[in-house]
Structure 1
Amino acid sequence: MYVPSPPQSDPRAATGQPWWLVIGPGFASLIGLFLVTVIYRFDGGSALQIDLGMSSQSLLLNGLVAYLVAAAIAFPAGMLLGARFPTPVAVPAIALMLLGVLLVVFVPNTGLFLVGRVLTGLGAGAVLGVTVALIRRLQAGRGAAAGVTAGLGVVALVLAPVLGGLLSDATGFRVVFMVAALFVFAALVVAGVLGIVALVKAKTPARPMPYPPHA
């Protein structure tokens, strides 16, 4: 006698978000960490500080503290919402980063510099939260992904003053942020494209399991 097999569930429902969705937000997060310390240099005042006529205290408050406070405010929202809606959260966050970086590129004074840093910090904090949420939901390789991301983040923080200083000496601080804006735009495209791919794959119906012939 034939006994019908139990209905087969879609295996994608048990795997959570695909691992490659981390690529776009993760890349943007690394750029965000790079932008934290790129306003400084290890061997003296940065070109940004000199060109805008900022004191060390003003650079600290407007450039670093404002960035970190904005990022800390946006991070919890990015982590909570990003777990369920990674692309709808990551794409606007990266776009906000891009807007903030472009403001710094064309900034004429300290006031707009502060606005640019706040916008960049909000976007960076939110996209970092999305990255953490996606890594936490990985079914395999979670520890390796977290370790690699954290390691690259530390490298970005340390190298930013060095690379930023070298490029600023050669071309000016605005070019540094223009290059950063290009990388942020690339991260925006990657996050958007991979999000669309994930949406299409999620909407593709699973193939029905074949039933054996009746006995």
Structure 2
Amino acid sequence: MSDSRPPARPQTAYQRWELASLAEEPVRNAADEAAANAELLARELRTARETGLQQGQQQGYQTGLREGRLRGYDEGHAEGVAQAQADNLALQQELTQALTQLGQQFGQELAQARELLARQLLDLALDMAQAMLCQTLELQPERLLGVIEQALQELPLVRQPAVLRLHPQDLELVKAARGSELQAAGWRLQADGQLARGGCLIETGDQQIDASLPARWQRLLHSLGRDGTWLEPAA
């Protein structure tokens, strides 16, 4: 059986190029689309990688910052506690030392105050005693007789001349009470306006006994370790 189709005419070079171009167009379009998709995918991957890297860096920074803060807080807290304990201990030592010094100073001041108070009380007692003595001698002048008796007993031996000096008013009292007895023993009674009432002055050949109120008061103060003078009562 013979082929009835007419034989194909030979194609020109343009026709062959045109057919080839038509055949290659879908392939080129597919390649371009694939390339575009690949580039888009590459950009998306690159963007995702950069975003992930940034997120990772940020997350790592935040985590590191948080951990650093926590670590710094813990270390700072520990250092703060240690410093506070050291400061508290130093403060306690300073307070203890200050209280000790204050206690010692208070003890010294208290002792000084007690000593001062004792001296003041003694001075007050002496002032009161002097006032009471003056009042007693004024109300009971006969007490002078006891003073004279005590002064005479201090003389181991009376040598002539023996003189007993008295305030003029006391002289009359002594003469009335013991004048005869004293004169019989060789005593000579003399008035002395320089003597205060309540005292006397005894003179013998080789000694003198000052039994005046100022002298007796001075001896009393000296025995108490005090200084002072007898104050004459106001007239």
Same fold (TM over 0.5): no
Question: What TM-score, normalized to structure 2?
Answer: 0.26
Higher relative contact order (CA 8 A, sep 6+): 1
Structure with the higher fraction of residues in strand conformation: 2
Which protein has the larger Cα radius of gyration, Structure 1 or Structure 2? 2
Question: What TM-score, normalized to structure 1?
Answer: 0.28
